[in-house]
Amino acid sequence: MRTFPSLALIAAAFALVPCVSEAADAKAGRAKAAACVVCHGQTGISTLPNAPNIAGQPAIYVEEQLRNYRSGKRQHEVMSVVAKPLGDADIEDLAAWYSAIRIEATPP
């Protein structure tokens, strides 16, 4: 018989997941994203075939990827250079901006 974790256990696990700082500022992130526009587009929809769309991505995902580029854990010739000087507040603001963008998927 297959057992499933209790709701309390699931809730406790989510409580341990780090979330976006409450100090994160999407408006500041929008201003800081000026350099990102070249590859990721004005609204996070990529303008290059090898750059990902980042609009609407969860903030925690954007934060983690930027921190990985900054630390060298994740390598990319452009992103490694771009992320290196970013501070934690910069990363949180950028994540707040890109996660605040709403996108719509329309099935065929």
Rounded average pLDDT over 26-31? 97
Q: Are the C-beta atoms of 19 and 85 separated by less than 8 Å?
A: no
Structure tokens, 2: 């297959």
Token pair 């350099």: residue: 35
Of 1, 59, 51, 3, the closest CA to residue 26 belongs to 59
CATH of the domain spanning 23-100: 1.10.760.10
Rounded average pLDDT over 29-40? 96
- Cite the DSSP H helix spans in 1-108: 7-16, 26-32, 37-40, 59-71, 79-83, 88-100
Structure tokens, 7: 């709701």
Say which DSSP state 84 is in.
T
Highest mean pLDDT among 2-6, 58-62, 104-108: 58-62
Q: What is the structure's pLDDT at 22? A: 61
Domain ranges of the chain: 23-100
Of the candidate ranges 1-5, 53-57, 83-87, the one whose mean pLDDT is the lowest: 1-5
